[in-house]
Amino acid sequence: MLLMKGSDTPSSEITERKLYLDRRRFLELGAAAVFGVAGSAAAAPLADVVKGKVILDESPTPLEAVTTYNNFYEFGTDKDDPARLAPKTFTPLKPWTVAVEGECARPATLDYLDLIRPNRLEERIYRMRCVEAWSMVIPWVGVPLGEVLKRFEPTSRAKFVEFTTLADPVRMPGVKSRVLEWPYVEGLRIDEAMHPLTLLAVGLYGEELPPQNGAPIRLVVPWKYGFKSAKSIVRIRFVEQAPRSSWMKSAPREYGFYSNVNPKVDHPRWSQGTERRIGEFRRRPTLMFNGYAEQVAALYSGMDLAKDF
C-alpha cells in the first residue's frame, strides 16, 4: 500500500459522508461488475476491495469544483466550457478501445475495461497542479499504469511511452479550433510511466469519470503539471525517441517535455512559486514535484531541472 507523508486517517473521515458512501458503492459494485470480483468481495468493506490508497493530510477539493473547473481544450478554452459542453455532446462510445503498439512484444487493441481488467481498482487521493498556478486535491479511482504496460512486454528499444487522445470534431467542438494540433499527444519517459504513482484513472470521487474529466480513461501523473495527464486516451505507443507533445509543438518556450512541478522554474508569463487551491483565497507555496519529491526525485538525478523543464 502506498502512503504519502501526512495522515493515515481513513478517507471516510476526511470526505463528506455522502460522497464517501457514493465512492464506496462505486468501488464495491464497480469492482464486482467490471473486474469480476466474487460476490463475497462485492459486499466486503472498502479496504477489502481497494488494493491500495494514497492518503494525504489534505481535504479533497469539492466534487462540484473538480467537475466544473477544467482544462480540456477539445471542448473549449474557458474553464467552464468542458462542464457546459461535454455532457451534451460527448458520450464515450462503448466499446471504447485503446490500441497498445510500438516497441513491444504483445501489441493489441483492447476495450479499455479489458486493458485494466487484471488489476484491482485503487483509490489514490492526489494533489493535482495546473500550469496556470491553480491546484486541487482529487480522489482518483484507477490502476497503476506500470502494471498495465508490463502485459505488453515492452522491448529494450522502448525508452518512452506516447499517449494519443480522441479527436472527434462532431462530439468535441473544440477540435475545430486551431488552438492546438489535434489529436492531443503527450508522452512520458518509460521509467516515469512505470513509476507506481502513475495512474490510469477510470473514475473520481467513487464515480465513473464524467466527460469533462477525461472519460472513460485518462492518465494521472501527480508530480507533473496537469496537461501531462492526457484525457480520453485511444492509443498508447512504446517508442524509442521522446514524443513531441501537442503543447511542445504549440509553444516550445513555455512547455517542455518533462513539465515537472517546480517552483524555481517560472512559466514565461507568470510565476510558479505559489499556487491557489481551488476553493481557497490565500495562495500557498508550490511544492517541488508537487509534494512528491521523496518518491520521484531520484528519477531526475543529475539532470538540470531548469534546462530539462
Average of per-residue pLDDT values in the chain: 85
CA 297 – CA 289 distance, rounded (Å)? 8
38-42, 93-97, 139-143: which has the minimum mean pLDDT? 38-42
pLDDT score of 52: 52
Q: What is the pLDDT of residues 54-85, one digit of tens each?
A: 667 789 999 999 999 999 999 999 999 999 99
- Give the dihedral sign, CA 249/255/256/259: negative
Confidence of residue 45 (pLDDT cuts 50, 70, 90): very low
For residue 62, which phi and psi values (nearest 5 degrees)? -55, 140
On the question of pLDDT at 124 being above 60, the answer is yes
Architecture per CATH, domain 11-300, reads as Alpha-Beta Complex (3.90)
What is the DSSP pairing of strand 97-102 with strand 233-239? Answer: parallel
Identify which has the larger pLDDT, 275 or 267.
275
Q: What is the DSSP string of 258-307?
A: S-B--TTS-BTTB--SEEEETT-SS-EEPPGGGGTHHHHGGGGTT--TTT
pLDDT score of 3: 31
CA 9 – CA 163 distance, rounded (Å)? 35
Enter the pTM of the model: 0.85
In this prediction, residues 90-107 reach a mean pLDDT of 92
Identify which has the larger pLDDT, 205 or 33.
205
On the question of pLDDT at 100 being above 60, the answer is yes
In this prediction, residues 151-165 reach a mean pLDDT of 98
On the question of pLDDT at 149 being above 70, the answer is yes
pLDDT score of 11: 39
On the question of pLDDT at 267 being above 90, the answer is no
For residue 60, which phi and psi values (nearest 5 degrees)? -60, 150
What is the DSSP pairing of strand 108-111 with strand 284-285? Answer: unpaired
Cα-based distances in Å from 119 to 61, 148, 199, 232, 283: 27, 8, 12, 20, 38
Is the Cβ–Cβ distance between 27 and 141 less than 8 Å? Answer: yes
CA 239 – CA 194 distance, rounded (Å)? 14
Confidence of residue 33 (pLDDT cuts 50, 70, 90): very low
Is the Cβ–Cβ distance between 70 and 26 less than 8 Å? Answer: no
Give domain limits for the chain. Answer: 11-300
For residue 166, which phi and psi values (nearest 5 degrees)? -65, 140
pLDDT score of 233: 98
On the question of pLDDT at 46 being above 80, the answer is no
In this prediction, residues 122-141 reach a mean pLDDT of 95
Identify which has the larger pLDDT, 2 or 277.
277
Q: What is the pLDDT of residues 163-178, one digit of tens each?
A: 999 999 999 999 999 9
Identify which has the larger pLDDT, 276 or 37.
276
pLDDT score of 94: 77
